[in-house]
Amino acid sequence: MPQRPRTARSDGRLTYAAMLSPAIVLLSIFVFVPVALVLYGSLFRFGLTSAEWTFVGLSNYVRAMGDGVFWIALRNNIIIVVGSIVLQVGFGTLLAAVLDRGITVGNTVLRTIIFAPMVISSVAVGLIWLIILDPNVGPLVSLVKAMGLTPPRLGFLGDPSISIWVVLGIASWQYTGFMMVLILAGLQAVPKELYQAAALDGATGLRAFWHITLPAIRNILIVAVLITTVGGFKVFDLIFVTTGGGPANATQVLSTWIYFQAFNLGNTGYADAISVILLAIAVLLGWAQLKSSRRA
């Protein structure tokens, strides 16, 4: 078929390519090339600044499988994920439902307060709680003592058997409001006629919540769960500031363990291997998010 050459001008390809290129360049340098580099680096033993790279095959991955702290870190990530879903999405849903239909006066004020920690940096949140939970000067210890109970001897964050749960609590303090707002936006999109129809059918209060509200916001709940899950695997700041992964690695998570291996111990190749595992989890979750939002 004879075809006249199309002019690039009227086709617009050049313009669009030019408009796309800054984004593609930035993403390549800081996202795609680094992904390739972790995959590559995970097969080597090398130091952060040394030029000497030794090919070690999959032994960094084998090492991870035998590394007790790696498993603790993974377990802690899962604890944070599951705990956050229960606490943040759970309470977030309840709060959102109450703000949406339960109460009518003062909603904005209450919503603003509960959402506020979201805009504070996790570092500041960690430091505030570090002081609140301090075994010597912290008000919480005094409060517990004043109530006639004995606080943990090493402090709330110093006791390896509970410290990860305390971190979970702090994270939930920060993000429950975010989940509430997210879900509230979903609730407000539910047509009010639905509740009126349900009321005529005899479903009010809790039964309406169960039979009308929850199904109507199913999709947004899935999104909330996925955001929380992804966030739970990415958690770093809070742990770095409050416990540094301690006591005795009891609160390590994957990201802090990567950081310590790479930047404190110089096991850069090993850090890359753990990064690849974290990456695989993140990509899997991202894919799940994409699929669920397509269906939504």
Partner 1 sequence: MNTRRLNATTLVLYGFVGLMSLIVLLPVIYMIMAAFKTRTSMFVSPLALPESLSFETFERAWGVGVGGFMVNSLLVTFLSVVVIVIVSGMAAYALSQMRGWVGQAIYLMIVAGFAIPVQAVLVPVFQIMSGAGLLNSRLALVLPYAAYGIPFTVILFYAFFLDFPKELEEAARLDGCSRFQAFVRVILPLSGPAIASAAIFQSVFIWNEFILALLVLTRRGLKTLPVGILDLQGEFTSDWPAVLAGLTLATLPLLILFVLAQKYFVRSLAGLGK
Partner 2 sequence: MSDVKISGLRKSYGRFEAIKGVDLTVADGEFVVMVGPSGCGKSTLLRTIAGLEGADEGAIAVGGRDVTHEEPADRGVAMVFQNYALYPHMNVSGNMSFGLRMAGMAKDKIAAAVERAAGILNIGDHLDKQPKALSGGQKQRVAIGRAITRQPEVFLFDEPLSNLDAALRTKMRVELGRLHADLGATMIYVTHDQTEAMTMADRIVVLRDGLVEQVGSPRELYNRPVGRFVAGFLGSPRMNVVPARLTRREGDRITVSIDGLDDMTRPLDVTKGKDLREGDTVFVGIRPEAFGPPEDSGRRFALKIRVVENLGRETLVYGTPQGFVSDESDAEDGDLVIQFARQKDVRPGQTIDIGLSASALYIFDDAGLTRSFPNDH
Of 186-205, binders to partner 1 (CB under 8 A) are 186, 205
Quote the least distance from Cβ 165 to partner 2, whole Å: 53
Q: From residue 109, how far is each of 90, 105, 185 by CA, in Å? A: 21, 9, 16
Q: Does 292 bind partner 1 (CB under 8 A)?
A: no
| Binding to partner 1 in span 83-122, by CB under 8 A | 91, 94-95, 98-99, 102-103, 108, 110-122
Among partner 1, partner 2, none, residue 186 binds (CB under 5-8 Å by kind): partner 1
| Binding to partner 1 in span 66-85, by CB under 8 A | none
d(C-alpha 294, C-alpha 296), whole Å? 5
Whose Cβ is closer to partner 1: residue 16's or residue 161's? 16
**Interacting residue with partner 1 among 43, 87, 157, 182 (CB under 8 A):** 182
Residues 71-77: contacts with CB within 8 Å, 24+ apart? 72/249, 72/250, 72/252, 73/252, 73/253, 73/254, 73/256, 73/257, 74/254, 76/164, 76/251, 76/252, 76/253, 77/232, 77/233, 77/235, 77/253, 77/254
Quote the least distance from Cβ 119 to partner 1, whole Å: 5
Whose Cβ is closer to partner 1: residue 58's or residue 286's? 286
Residue whose pair of structure tokens reads 């407000």 in the numeric block = 188
Among partner 2, partner 1, none, residue 112 binds (CB under 5-8 Å by kind): partner 1
Rounded to 5 degrees, what angle do the CA atoms 276, 282, 288 make? 140
| Binding to partner 1 in span 232-291, by CB under 8 A | 233-234, 236-237, 240-241, 254-255, 258-259, 262-263, 268, 271-272, 275-276, 278-279, 282-283, 285-287, 289-290
Among partner 2, partner 1, none, residue 2 binds (CB under 5-8 Å by kind): partner 2
Dihedral Cα 115, 118, 123, 128, nearest 10 deg: 0
| Binding to partner 1 in span 5-34, by CB under 8 A | 12, 15-20, 22-24, 26-27, 29-34
DSSP 5-64: PPPHHHH-HHHHHHHHHHHHHHHIIIIIHHHHHHHHHTTEE--SS----EE-TTHHHHHH
Quote the least distance from Cβ 28 to partner 2, whole Å: 28
Q: From residue 23, how far is each of 36, 94, 286 by CA, in Å? A: 18, 40, 20
- Cis check for the bond before 247: say yes or no (omega within 30 of 0): yes
Quote the least distance from Cβ 6 to partner 2, whole Å: 5
Whose Cβ is closer to partner 1: residue 117's or residue 161's? 117
Q: Does 155 bind partner 1 (CB under 8 A)?
A: no
Chain residues binding partner 2 by CB under 8 A are 1-4, 6-7, 9-11
Quote the least distance from Cβ 232 to partner 1, whole Å: 11
